[in-house]
Structure 1
């Protein structure tokens, strides 16, 4: 993934992951969120459910958590309690601010779905997930031009 070139992510177990490897040939959703945010805590379980269903279908999809938490402990607690098994940018990584600027993040939660090159598929990922659940992925994968035998029906 071009915008993640040379970047590392971490998983729930705090292990380092090469961002390019995990995001290659996938639709990515950047999830801007925080544990102190009530709307985030309301939306996160639904997003985790959709993510888990897509993973069961072996869909070319990944969520990257972009934290607005106030401490690394708060971020880790939020991830352990509410998240699915998606990776995150390390707490305090300067790339977080760059992404917020790049994708015009003014409030959270925000789910920005992007192509491998960083081009936006939709800035309305949260609404689409709330309205359509797992079925929104079909449009995302088509927009990303990823060959895939995905059926949400």
Structure 2
């Protein structure tokens, strides 16, 4: 993914990893969300459960719309999975939001390992397919 190429992604344990390395060979979900968003707070635990089922083949990159780094980290600690996030203040979030025309949150966009968009409606797919997350990820590879 060009926008994230060469960038360091972070996890709550403060570990940093090169985006290309972290996402190589995986289906990627770009998750646009924020702690202040009620629908986001309802969906995030559902996404966490989904992620725990498919994390070997699937990775999430959280693109936060939070207003502060502490809000972002508090939200991550409260209910997110152990997935990557774009460090606060990095313009990659805005670039991704523009590229994928994100106008509302929560939005979850699925990308193939080569960066090709699979769907902009990943949230719906996750909510509908809660019982079989592996099937959803397998469809993304086709």
| TM-score range relative to shorter protein | over 0.9
CA distance in 1, matches of 2:131, 2:115: 22
TM-score (norm 1): 0.86
1:99 is aligned, of 89, 96, 101, to: 96
**Structure 2 unmatched ranges of 5 or more:** none
Aligned counterpart, 2:21: 21
SS at match of 1:106: coil
CA distance in 1, matches of 2:131, 2:64: 23
Q: Does residue 1:40 correspond to 2:40, yes or no? A: yes
Q: How much is the aligned-residue C-alpha RMSD, in angstroms?
A: 1.5
Q: Does residue 1:123 correspond to 2:95, yes or no? A: no
Q: Does residue 1:82 correspond to 2:79, yes or no? A: yes
Aligned counterpart, 2:60: 63
**Structure 1 unmatched ranges of 5 or more:** 146-153
Alpha-carbon contact 1:3-1:117 (below 8 Å) kept? no
How has the CA–CA distance of structure 1 residues 14 and 31 changed in structure 2, closer, same or farther, with 3 Å as cutoff? Answer: same
Shift of 1:137: 4.2
TM-score (norm 2): 0.92
Alpha-carbon contact 1:28-1:63 (below 8 Å) kept? yes
Shift of 1:133: 1.4
SS at match of 1:30: strand
